[in-house]
Structure formats: structure tokens, C-alpha cells
Chains A and B, each alone.
Chain A
Amino acid sequence: MTLDINIGKVIKNAYRITSTRGLTALRVRIPGGHLETKYLDILKKIADDFGNGTLHMTTRQGFEIPGIDLKRIPEINQRIGPVIQGIEIDTAGIDISEPEAGYPAAGTRNIASCIGGRVCPFANCDTTDLAFKIEKKVYPNNFHVKIAVTGCPNDCIKGHLHDFGIIGLCEPVYDYSRCIGCGACSNNCRAVATGALILKNGKIRRDERRCIGCGECVLQCPTAAWTRNPMKFYKMVIMGRTGKKNPRIARPFLIWVNESVVMDVLTNTYQYIDKYINKSLPKEHVGYIVDRTGYPTFRDFVLDGVKLNPEAKLSQHINWGGYENASYLFIK
């Protein structure tokens, strides 16, 4: 029988229309890119029984199971049910009524994160944990938003190419009486960060306007004169993207905000999209909406009702930059 399917529904169900007619691929969400091995057994089984025996690791840290017959979607949804139950319902705490009906949405992409505090010594937060908390806030949702969490300003996950890059920060706290003036922190800050530390008269001064909160000084100090403020802070960079029109690096929006500000801004962003999205288009990425409304409208909307912590700082203006992706810019 000729295939006659509603591809809108298929796509929302996290299956793709692929280059081979009749075949689809299932996108599996792995928030934070960190999963228990038991799920791999399920994915392997689906790939062996329904796909072509391969798994593709996506750039967003999920898996795609390619080579699936479009007609078998209901059966596969049954099989992926335990993954949705374990990861989305039990771990992330999301309310999904029918896990055996497959993924309820695919617009908001998997929350990617660097390996973070569970492994990386440079991390300023547990990125996997934060990825799960964000997943709970934003999923399921059909709006097209890409979010990544990274443990420190090294930005290994490349949050700067996402609509939202959430960067873990450390506020270094200095104990004058413990400092021996060895210069390890100031030399290192100059070498790897911003030169925010000056050694003078055997003591350190930190220029708060230069400090990016990477936490390197805490790692270097041999006497624990630098310790981390146990309160966790974040920087949010926004509206970075690749894509065909105007690729660009994300720009700083907020810095030194706490977790609840991050969560509130993300939640409000979905209302902003709902209000300003061009409904005549099949989909519109949030970055292009911000291009239309302008930064101040976005800023005022997503910060409305958000209680900024006292340390928080906000970008007054953003120069978006990026480049226009057109051939006439090149000469022969």
C-alpha cells in the first residue's frame, strides 16, 4: 500500500523524513549527554530489530536510530517507552502521560552539556544536573530552541553556537590572611584568562571588571587563600547560531545570575516566542524572532517579573555581528 502519512505528526514524534523514501530515523534525547548504560541495551535492540544495526551520535549529544521503516513507528514507540520513562519521567521529572506513544515533541532540542563537575576539574557546576533541570522546564515543547550548558568559560560544549549557552561561573573569594604572595594565581590568570589579578606588596587585588569567573585562581592557590563562593553563578549567552542565513556567535546577555534567574528567563522565553513568532511560517527559530523584535523587546519581556539576584549584571546593548551568508561577498 502506498504510504500516506501526516509528516507533521511524525516529526513531532521525533522521527525524521530522511533521504531514503520510506525510511525514518528516531531521535533519542539524552539530556546532558550522560546516560546509564542500561539504556544503550534498549537502543541497540531497536537498532538491530528495526533499523540497520547502527546508531548515530548527534552533535547535540542524543542518538539517532536510522534505517527504520516508517510503518513500524508504533511498535518502536512501544520499545522506546522505557527510555522515555527512565530519562524523561523518572529522572527529569517530566509529566508525560503515554511514554509508549513515543516522544511528545521535538522542537526544543536535546539539552547538551559538557561533562562538567562530575569529571572535569575546571567545572564550576554539575552540568548534567542542570541539563536535567532545564529539560524539565522546557520539554516537551514544539518551539525551536537550542540550549547548552557548559561548566566554565572554556565553553567546551560551544554554548556560543546555541540560542542559549548557560556557562557555570565561580566567584573567587579571597582570604587576605592566607595569601603568601606566590603569584601562582595572578600569573595563571594572565596566561589563561584575563589578567584580572595583580600582585602587589605580597598580596593580590582582583579587578572585578576583568574577572570572568573561570575559577582558575581557586585551582592554582596552594594555601586556599582563594576559595569558591559556594553559591553558583551563571553567564547566559544568547542567540548564537549556525544555519544558512546569518551564522554568529552568541553574545552575553546576563552574567553572575543564579540558577533561578536562568530558569525563569528560559520559561519566559517560551511565552515571548508564543507572542512574537511568525505564525505564517512552518517554524521560526528564536534567534530570528529576536532579530525582528530587537533586543530591548526580548530583554524586557523575558526579564518581566524575574527577581535578579543582587550580583546579576545585564547587557544594555547587544551588537549581534555574525556575517551574511551570501555568495556575492566573495570574488573570483
Chain B
Amino acid sequence: MGKSVSTTEFNEMLKTLAGEYRIFAPKRFVHHGKCTGTDLIRYGEVHSLDEIEYKAKSNFSLKEILHPINQTIFYFTETEFSEPATENKGIVIFARPCDINGVFRLDNIFLHNGDEEDYYYKKPRDKVRFVMMECTVGFENCFCVSMDTNKSDDYHMAVRFGGEEYLLDIRDQFFIDVLEGVGEDIEFTPDFIKRNRVEVRLPEIDRMPPAMYDHEMWDEYSTRCIACGRCTTTCITCSCFTTTDIANEDNPKQGERRRTWASCHIEGFTDMAGGHGFRKKNGEKMRFKTLHKIYDYNRRFGKGPMCVGCGRCDDACPVYISFSNCINKVTSYV
């Protein structure tokens, strides 16, 4: 069902939602960017439309809402442990189509990988309602069309920003109820981007040729990549974490077990006790990430690539390594 609502009406809706929902959207943090005078755009809780940055791509993805950067799993004392209190409110997320598709990739990893569902991911995930932000123009490094993630049907409501009125496509009874009697009924379905500036071709293969693992193309990345981890921390589909026990400094018998993002592109990720590590060279890290994103994931789940082409890795890389170009190189070599 389509609707056209005014700014005031939209804000009223957000206010109503705020009672039972935490609302997340890309937010601009003015002058909090890396370089002086630049802004940081990342997800944060919003209460009104003017807080939502819908024009620019966020530097970080929405994954931090569902898979927090740090999460205390439990606190322990000598004899007992307790779980931290959890937020009971629901979650509304404003997201672009690529990122909604990204969350379904994360679902596969956390919920459909083996017999056990990841309890900590599932808890917030079950509470999510998506408001899809129509995205028809894209940005510098996006390649969602090549990854078939430029479209999504999996939204509860879609919104077109940028006009006098906000155009909504409401799919979910929940939002129908919230917007009962508000705005004007219209015909509206969101558009999707049809072509990105960047195009990527995936290899059409059943098995990765073993030669690809030792291919000399990876050597170049050893000389260029500085293993800073930005490509993976900004990525919507990178989901690795480590678990550590942090003991209280004064009383080491108390403490917490904490889960923290980790990444194949950060030094020490594969290090084991005794100091042995796999993939010492940064080109090997690049190979691991690339083949994981475009090949291993598909072999495991049979649902296409893991990468959704959001292009954040390329936006963030300080040494101008292009992941999309890396995929194209692999395709041209296999």
C-alpha cells in the first residue's frame, strides 16, 4: 500500500514508534571524520527525520546493530555467572537494498551455519523491521547490480526521500496500523538502481582452480595492503569475532566474557598459542578474503556470493586497493 506523508507526519510516526522501538539510521557526525573538517557517517539511534542522513552512504554498515563491535556475553564471579540485561524494545532499521541483502547474508552465517543458531545474533535479529531507503543513483564504488543486491523485497516499509513529501510503500501490517489515517493514499513502489559505475564479473565455476590459490596476482597485494582492517570493519558481510575473558584487575576471579569483532585483515587474526600464524603475508589475507567472499560462502550455502557490492571496502581503503577490481582480476584468471 502506498502513501504520501509530510515531514510532520513522518516525525509523528517516528515519535509513536519510539515508545516501543529503537530506530536506527545512518547519521552524520559533523567534524568527527578522520581528517579535520570531515564528517563521520555511521548508524546511530534517531528520533526525527533531520537526524537521518539519507543522501550519503554510511562509512560503516548497519551490522554493528545486530552484531555489536563489543558484546558482553556474561559476567562471572568465582561461583556464578550472569547475563547482562538486554534491551526489550524492538528495532527499526533504515537501510539501503544492498545492506538489507547483507543482513540476509549475515543470517546465513549466524543462524543457518551448522545446527546451532547464534543466540546473541538471533535475539536482536528477531526484533528487526526494515525501512528500505530507496536507492536509485548509488555512489562511487557501489557494484550492487553486479551482485544482484540492488533490489530487495524483504522490507516492511520503503521510503523515497528527497521530495516535498515522503513516499511510502507499506508492506507490513505493523506499519499499516501505525500509519492508519495518516497522509494521502497513493500508488507507489520504490525504484532500484539499474547500473552502477563499477561493474564486476563473478567467475562462473564449480570449483576454484587450485592454481588460483598460488597465483602471482596475490603477491602484488603483499606490497600494497597494510593490513589496517578497514575493509573488513566497514563491510556489512564480514562477521568474524573473537571471544576473550577479561579479568577484573583487582580481583582476577571476577570478570566478563566478551565477544569482539575480529578480522582476517588485521595482524594477529590467525595467530595461535606459540606464535604460529597462517597467512602472514598481506597478499594471502587478501586472497583469503576474496575467495571467501566470492567462492567459499557460495560453496557452503549455494546462495551466490557473500559480498553484496556495497563498496565500503573500496571507500575505506587508505591505499586505494579496489576489491571490485580484485574480483574482476580473479575472474579473468580462472
Contacts and interface: CB of A to CB of B under 8 A. Distances in A.
Contact of A117 (B36, B232, B249): B36
A222 B233 CA distance: 7
A230 B31 contact: yes
Contacts, number: 80
Contacts of B163: none
A222 B59 CA distance: 11
Interface of B: 29-37, 40, 42, 59-60, 68-70, 228-230, 232-234, 244, 246-247, 249, 258, 260-262, 266-268
A220 to B, nearest CB: 7
Interface of A: 117, 121, 123-126, 151, 168, 170, 176-184, 201-202, 215, 218-220, 222-224, 227-228, 230, 232
26 contacts: A117-B35, A117-B36, A123-B35, A126-B37, A170-B36, A176-B70, A177-B68, A177-B69, A180-B70, A180-B262, A181-B260, A182-B229, A182-B268, A201-B246, A202-B244, A215-B36, A220-B228, A222-B228, A222-B230, A222-B233, A222-B266, A223-B261, A227-B29, A227-B33, A228-B33, A230-B32
Contacts of A202: 244, 246, 258, 260
Contact of A228 (B32, B69, B266): B32
Nearest to A118: B37
Contacts of B29: 227
Contact of B36 (A123, A180, A222, A223): A123
A179 B266 contact: no
Contacts of A220: 228
Given A117-B35, A180-B261, A230 B228 contact: no
User: Which residue of B37, B247, B268 has the most chain A CB atoms within 10 A of its CB atom?
Assistant: B37
Given A177-B69, A180-B260, A202-B244, A223 B233 contact: yes
Query: Binding site of A, secondary structure by majority: helix, strand, loop or mixed?
Result: loop
Given A222-B230, A230-B31, A179 B70 contact: yes
Given A125-B36, A227-B32, A230-B30, 12 more contacts: A117-B35, A151-B36, A176-B70, A177-B68, A182-B266, A201-B246, A219-B35, A220-B228, A222-B232, A222-B234, A224-B60, A232-B36
Nearest to A173: B32
A201 to B, nearest CB: 5
Contact of A224 (B37, B59, B258): B59
Contact of B31 (A181, A182, A228): A228
Nearest to A126: B37
B316 to A, nearest CB: 8
A218 B34 contact: yes
A117 B29 CA distance: 18
Contacts of A223: 60, 69, 233, 261
B197 to A, nearest CB: 25
Contacts of B35: 117, 121, 123, 219
B125 to A, nearest CB: 19
A222 B249 CA distance: 27
Contacts of A224: 32, 34, 40, 42, 59-60
Contacts of B261: 180, 223
Nearest to A224: B40
By Cβ-Cβ distance, the 4 closest A-B pairs, closest first, are A230-B31, A222-B229, A117-B36, A227-B32
A117 B34 contact: no
Given A220-B228, A222-B229, A168 B36 contact: yes
A123 B35 CA distance: 7
A228 B34 CA distance: 7
Contacts of A222: 228-230, 232-234, 266
A117 B246 CA distance: 40
A230 B247 CA distance: 34
A125 B37 CA distance: 8
A177 B37 contact: no
Most buried by B among A126, A168, A184, A232: A184
Contacts of A230: 30-32
Contacts of A178: 69-70
A121 B68 CA distance: 29
Contacts of B232: 222
A124 B69 contact: no
A125 B36 CA distance: 6
Nearest to B260: A180
A50 B224 CA distance: 52
Nearest to A227: B32
B229 A184 contact: yes
Nearest to B71: A177
Contacts of A151: 36
A232 B36 CA distance: 9
